Amino acid sequence: MNNIHRLTVATILFLSSFSTMAQIVTAVDSTIEGAEKKILTLATKEGKSYEILGASFKNRVYMTAELTPVNKK
């Protein structure tokens, strides 16, 4: 489980270096719905939309998402 956490953090740091407009966030919860709700809350607070990049499950759900500015037309 500790290795998964380290891999998740390393992936987030790696991906964040390639993105200036997007923000990579991660959430951990006991269910997929709970993890997505945490990401939705973060996106809503910042006025951004989100796209889930991936999720894994090993006793807990680890979800990574990209927050991007909302395109206003």
Q: Which CATH entry fits the domain spanning 2-69: 3.30.30, 1.10.4100, 1.10.287, 1.20.58? A: 3.30.30
Alpha-carbon dihedral 31, 32, 38, 44, rounded to 10 degrees? -150
User: pLDDT per residue over 25-68, tens digit each?
Assistant: 999 999 999 999 999 999 999 999 999 999 999 899 999 999 99
For residue 67, the tally of other CB atoms under 10 A from its CB is: 21
Domain ranges (residues) in the chain: 2-69
- Output 42 or 16, whichever has higher pLDDT: 42
Neighbouring C-beta atoms of residue 4, cutoff 10 Å: 15
First to last CA, the chain: 44
